[in-house]
């Protein structure tokens, strides 16, 4: 995986921080698969950019303030593990949330073909190392 590929992935998180779901989706193949942790509300498997867009759009509507920061990355072949710290404020409720989670991206031709999201960063590392 090149540094350019990693920059493309990081840019998708910046876009989402700005509320730009389309910009975030630009890092994904049209037929990408996103598997969100079932430990989180709405966690499921989403196939194709359209389904991922619907999921991310609904997710973003839950927050008045939303920022993610990629704290670290680990690369292996065509895969990258990102450890992420999120700070957000719930829409309407005003509840402040701080959470850490991980995403494992699998790339094809420089774009995300698969994203596996984990609430448990240790589980993400185990799966990443096994894959």
107-131 per-position pLDDT tens digit = 999 999 999 999 999 999 999 999 8
pLDDT above 90 for 40:
no
Say which CATH number the domain at 19 has: 3.10.450.50
- Strand duo 45-47 + 28-35: pairing: antiparallel
DSSP E strands, 1-131: 28-35, 45-47, 63-76, 79-90, 96-108, 111-118
4-28 per-position pLDDT tens digit = 999 999 999 999 999 999 999 999 9
The number of folded domains in the chain is: 1
Q: Determine the structural domain holding residue 75 and report its residue range.
A: 3-130
């Amino acid at each position: 995986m090149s540094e350019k590929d990693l920059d493309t992935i990081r840019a998708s998180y910046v876009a989402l921080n700005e509320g730009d779901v389309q910009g975030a989706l630009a890092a994904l193949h049209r037929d990408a698969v996103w598997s969100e942790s079932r430990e989180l509300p709405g966690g499921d498997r989403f196939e194709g950019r359209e389904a991922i867009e619907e999921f991310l759009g609904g997710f973003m509507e839950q927050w008045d303030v939303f920022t993610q920061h990629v704290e670290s990355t680990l690369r292996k072949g065509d895969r990258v593990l990102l450890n992420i710290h999120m700070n957000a404020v719930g829409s309407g409720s005003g509840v402040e949330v701080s959470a850490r989670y991980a995403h494992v991206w699998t790339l094809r031709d420089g774009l995300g073909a698969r994203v596996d999201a984990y609430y448990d960063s240790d589980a993400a590392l185990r799966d990443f190392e096994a894959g």
